[in-house]
Amino acid sequence: AENEVGRCLMAERASKTFNKLGAARLAAVQALFQMELSGQGVVETAAEYETFRLGKELDGEQLAPADASWFRSLLSGVVEQQTKIDPIIRAALADGWSLSRLDGTLRAVLRGGTYELLHRSDVPKPVIISEYVEIANAFYDAGDESKTVNAVLDRIARTHRD
């Protein structure tokens, strides 16, 4: 968990390169991870992020402005749809991989991207996939996780979206 918290700090520093929707996506991924770790609910987590993080200064770093409405929509949507989202992600993972085998940050990235692919038909598939690949890049240095995000979301897009 300590390694994943370090990744969150690294991603917050990288958030300056995101537009308002991208920053909202990044914050939603961080909030989903935090909720999984802490067991905190959507309302409390959303309030904390909106009060202390979205577009605010954190540890001397100015965070990118984020679309609060998009953030709330993603966060609540993933939580509401998680029992439908997780089996879809499991089916798109490479053979031998389970969702529980992935670290919490990667699960959060895939859940956010899957939710958008399934429920945000107003956003083009390539935009969703590339945004979540960029978010994975903000958390991970090696690149394997980004490739996983790209492959899994591409499979989901091909099977669950026209």
**In this structure, are residues 93 and 152 in contact, taking their beta carbons and an 8 Å threshold?**
yes
Beta strands at 61-62 and 57-58: parallel, antiparallel or unpaired: antiparallel
pLDDT in tens, 14-72: 555 678 899 899 999 999 999 999 999 999 999 998 888 887 776 776 677 889 999 99
- 144's tokens: 């394997």
Ordered DSSP codes for 16-50: GGS-HHHHHHHHHHHHHHHHHHH---HHHHHHHHH
- 61's tokens: 């770093």
The pLDDT score that the predictor gives to residue 106 is 96
